[in-house]
Amino acid sequence: LNEITPAAIHAHETALMSAFYNKVSSLPGVTVYGDFTQDRAPIVTLNIGDMDSGEAAEILSDEYGIAVRSGAHCAPRMHEALGTVEQGAVRFSFGYYNTEEETDAAIAAVRELAEQ
């Protein structure tokens, strides 16, 4: 990390997040939350149909080897505003050590779950 600039790290994380967002946000049955029109943290929060977020996270982990966070994310008022208090949400976070291949695998997994 001493050889890589914070700007390069941010650019990599943002590119992965944008690629993921651009593909999953157009999938039928997938609801993505947040404003992606400006610079932001490399996080995409979504729901897949009416699937419980904990169930989605468990399937992503067990069947696809993808680690995500699920639930209320310590933000109950946000979930009240979004109408996701009962369902929660699934949060994908992208980091410097994530790859394009991992991002493509996450896109494919969300697509498969949305088609069920």
Distance of CA 90 to the CA centre of its chain: 6
How much is the pLDDT for 111?
Answer: 97
Active site residues: 74
Task: Please state the pTM of the whole predicted model.
Answer: 0.91
- For residue 13, CA distances in Å to 44, 47, 49, 105 come to 12, 21, 26, 16
* DSSP string covering 27-82: STTEEEES--SS---SEEEEEETT--HHHHHHHHHHHH----EEE-TT-HHHHHHH
Q: What is the pLDDT of residues 63-77, one digit of tens each?
A: 999 999 997 777 777
DSSP 1: -
Give the tokens for residue 68: 């995500």
| Helix or strand holding residue 86 (H, E) | none
What's the pLDDT score for residue 2?
76
In tens, the pLDDT along 5-63 reads 999 999 999 999 999 999 999 999 999 999 999 999 999 999 999 999 999 999 999 99
CB distance 100 to 108 below 8 Å: no
